[in-house]
Structure 1
Amino acid sequence: MILQWNEDDLFFVCTMIEVVARKTHNRSRDVVEKLSDKVLLHQLKVASVNHCLSFEQVCDEWIEDYAIPEGDYDNIVSYGNDIPTETSVGKIYQTIILDNLKSRENVIESIRRVYHSLNDTCDYS
Structure 2
Amino acid sequence: MVNSGRESAKDNDLFFTCSLIDYIARKTKNTRAEVVNALGEKYLIKIYDLADIYHSDNIDRVSDDFIRDAKISTADFDNVASCKYAIPSHWDIGKVYKRLIKFVAEYEKIDVVDALLKVYNSFISSKIDDYNSSMYYENPLYLLECYLENKVI
- TM score, norm. by length of structure 1: 0.88
* Structure 1 residue aligned with 2:125: 119
Please say if residues 39 and 66 of structure 2, whose CA atoms lie closer than 8 Å, have aligned partners that are also in contact: no
Mapping of residues 89-104 of structure 1, within 5 Å: 89-101=93-105, 102-104=107-109
- Counterpart pick for 1:17 among 21, 28, 44: 21
Structure 2 residue runs without a partner (length 5+)? 1-8, 131-153
Q: In terms of Rg, which structure is larger?
A: 2
AA partner of residue 56 (structure 1): D
AA partner of residue 20 (structure 2): M
Tell me which stretches of 4 or more aligned residues in structure 1 moved more than 4 Å. Answer: none
Please say if residues 78 and 123 of structure 1, whose CA atoms lie closer than 8 Å, have aligned partners that are also in contact: no
- TM score, norm. by length of structure 2: 0.73
- Aligned sequence identity (%): 31
Following TM superposition, by how much is the alpha carbon of 1:39 offset from its aligned partner in structure 2, in angstroms? 1.4
Structure 1 residue runs without a partner (length 5+)? none
How many residues in Structure 1 have an aligned counterpart in Structure 2? Answer: 120
Does residue 53 (structure 1) correspond to residue 57 (structure 2)? The answer is: yes
* Structure 1 residue aligned with 2:3: none
3-state DSSP of counterpart to 2:110:
coil
Higher relative contact order (CA 8 A, sep 6+): 1
Following TM superposition, by how much is the alpha carbon of 1:63 offset from its aligned partner in structure 2, in angstroms? 0.7
Distance 1:35 1:53, change over 3 A: same
CA RMSD of aligned residues (A): 1.5
AA partner of residue 108 (structure 1): V
AA partner of residue 105 (structure 1): I
